Amino acid sequence: MPLDSVLPHYHGFLATAAAAAEMAMENDVIEENLRQFLLVLSVSLGVATLSRVVSWLRNIPYTLLLLLVGLGLAVLNVRLVNLSPELILFIFLPPLLFEAAWNIKWSNLKRDWVPIVLYAIIGVVICIGALLWGLVNVAGASLATALLVGASLSATDPVSVVALFRELGVNKRLTTLMEGESLFNDGVAVVAFNLVLGIALGVEQFDLSVTIAQFLVFTGIGASVGALIGFGISFLTQRFDLPLVEQSLTLVSAYGTYIVAEELGGSGVIAVVTTALILGNFGSRIGMNPRTRLVVSEFWEFLAFFVNSIVFLLIGDQVQFSSLSNYTDSIAIAIATMLLARLVSVFGLSFFSNMITPDNEDISWQGQTVLWWGGLRGSVSVALALSVPAALAEREEIIATVFGVMLFTLLVQGLTTKPLLESLNLLGDQPLRQKYMQGIARRVALNRVISRLKELIERQEVDSEFGRYQLALVEGQIDKLQEEMQTMQATNPDLQAFAAEQIKEELLAIESDTYAEFIRAGQIKDELAPLLQDVLTD
């Protein structure tokens, strides 16, 4: 056979073999990545579950425990997976933001919007300005390093503190302030980071008016996209009652809103927060029945637990101790400067907020102290630092400084928050309230059992003597339960007001659900304002 006719077949064979080899390599890479992901998943969920089962570990927030395990793996140089900033920003961040905003009540947010906005916007400016001055003048860092470290560390991430607040029953207003600030602060910090990145790289010049205009454009586009998608899904879910579909829509909206807003040049963080606030406070009321709302809420609670479990383990696992030791001076100065800036912003802005909102209860100095100390840094700060381009010579210093400060806030501030709450006498009575609500639930259930027994006796469906005996046993249980609840009320009179508040919320929910039924049936088109809102208050 002539050589000219053989060569094409030979080249074709080589091309096919190369393609097959390349496909095999890709399959090996996919399999290895999948193994790494399953390993991370198993370790993170195992540690998180263990922290809830073992009694002496319950005093440590599970996020901090995961961080400690990750640090242990880093010490042993066991690297689970490479942590890319895009992974946090595009996969982990939207569900964490959505879950937090979904659970915030609009009434609480509206009451404290002034301090929240002050903390989230002015607080970011104070943090960046203070770190810029401290790192440049004291640590001798470059302008680029100071700007990017300041912008990265301006994002608060008090996940573990808020979880601790809920577990201990800390004042709900403190939880709202801490969580509300973090939600909007993340969006402002990401926007600020993008603005200063151009200045640090030397491709843009700082201009106050241009910077403000860009900030307004970023946040405006984000809020608009979030509102459009939030209200759209809210009215869409009025037309059907399919819990799994509505649950899926919330998940799609979290990621879809983030991506759409980023593609349009807006803030994906602000967009997700806006969508979740609308769906949690409006959409879930007019388009979801109570059962569906419970299903969706439990789904997001699990998803937040799932994502946090992975994120904090990976953050600890990515720490490079050799880099941290090279920049201990910068880290120490950044910690001191950040704490001082946080002190000035919280106490100064709280004083201003108390002064201009006389109708609201003042934020006490004890509350301000907790807000100051509880301003932890976490996944958002790390993601922003890791997203610094490799072309920047100071990238290693920026990452090391942000990691060092983040570790200090999580390990030192995070682990000392509970003793601080105890010393300031801010621990709530959540365990007692929970026990009281369990008593109410048992009493309702036993009363229903009595009603059923009486009905069976009247219909002669059971032996009368057996029925009366069972009736006496259940009534004895109710009497015993009533005595326990009266004792709890006597020792804590606030339980009476708490129970009344729970009943009012239940009545308002029944009223709102009734309006939603009429909307789904097409009998009315507009959402009605709750009539009982003012009646029950009066």
pLDDT of amino acid 501: 74
Please state the separation of Cα 87 from the chain's center in Å.
Answer: 17
Ramachandran region, residue 16 (left: φ > 0; alpha: ψ -120 to 50; beta: rest):
alpha
The identity of residue 85, as a single letter, is: P
Q: What is the mean pLDDT of residues 177-187?
A: 84
> Does the pLDDT of residue 322 top 60, yes or no?
yes
Give the model confidence (pLDDT) of 487-517 as tens digits: 877 777 667 776 777 777 777 777 776 776 7
> Does the pLDDT of residue 335 top 80, yes or no?
yes
The identity of residue 192, as a single letter, is: A
Q: Find the helix packing angle between 159-168 and 430-458, rounded to 10°.
A: 50
Instruction: Give residue 294's pLDDT band: very low, low, confident or very high (50, 70, 90).
Output: confident
3 state DSSP class of 390: coil
Please give the Cα distance from 179 to 177 (Å, whole number). 6
Q: What percent of the chain has pLDDT over 90?
A: 14
pLDDT of amino acid 12: 58
List all residues 6 or more positions away from 96 whose beta carbon is below 8 Å from its beta carbon: 159, 304, 307, 308, 311, 379
- Does 493 or 230 have the greater pLDDT score? 230
Q: What is the mean pLDDT of residues 262-277?
A: 89
Q: Look at the pTM and tell me if it is higher than 0.75.
A: no
> Does the pLDDT of residue 39 top 60, yes or no?
yes
Q: What is the mean pLDDT of residues 441-451?
A: 84
List all residues 6 or more positions away from 320 whose beta carbon is below 8 Å from its beta carbon: 74, 400, 403
pLDDT of amino acid 167: 66
Give the model confidence (pLDDT) of 118-137 as tens digits: 998 899 999 999 999 999 99
pLDDT of amino acid 266: 86
Which alpha helices (DSSP H) does 76-171 contain, by range?
A: 85-87, 93-102, 106-111, 113-117, 123-137, 143-153, 159-168
Give the model confidence (pLDDT) of 404-444 as tens digits: 998 898 888 888 888 888 888 877 666 677 777 778 778 88
Residue 530 in contact with residue 508, Cβ under 8 Å?
Answer: yes
Which of 83-87, 177-181, 315-319 has the highest average model confidence (pLDDT)?
177-181
Residue 106 in contact with residue 277, Cβ under 8 Å?
Answer: yes
Q: What is the mean pLDDT of residues 86-108?
A: 80
**What's the DSSP call for residue 406?**
H
- Does 512 or 253 have the greater pLDDT score? 253
pLDDT of amino acid 461: 80
Question: For 39-43, 108-112, 270-274, 284-288, which range has the lowest pLDDT when averaged over its residues?
Answer: 39-43
Question: For 222-231, 458-467, 501-510, which range has the lowest pLDDT when averaged over its residues?
Answer: 501-510
Among 269, 307, 102, smallest CA distance to 189 is for 269
> Does the pLDDT of residue 205 top 90, yes or no?
no
Query: What is the SS3 string spanning 355-389?
Result: HHCCCCCCCCHHHHHHHHHCCCCCHHHHHHHHCCC
**What's the DSSP call for residue 237?**
G
Question: For 62-71, 389-398, 459-468, which range has the lowest pLDDT when averaged over its residues?
Answer: 62-71
pLDDT of amino acid 226: 93
Round the average pLDDT of the chain to a whole number and report it: 79
3 state DSSP class of 509: helix
Among 39, 60, 30, smallest CA distance to 313 is for 39
Residue 222 in contact with residue 266, Cβ under 8 Å?
Answer: yes
pLDDT of amino acid 224: 93
Q: What is the mean pLDDT of residues 389-410?
A: 86
Please give the Cα distance from 530 to 511 (Å, whole number). 7
pLDDT of amino acid 119: 92
Torsion of CA 199, 263, 278, 294, to 10 degrees: -110
- Does 105 or 170 have the greater pLDDT score? 105
pLDDT of amino acid 430: 60
> Does the pLDDT of residue 344 top 90, yes or no?
yes
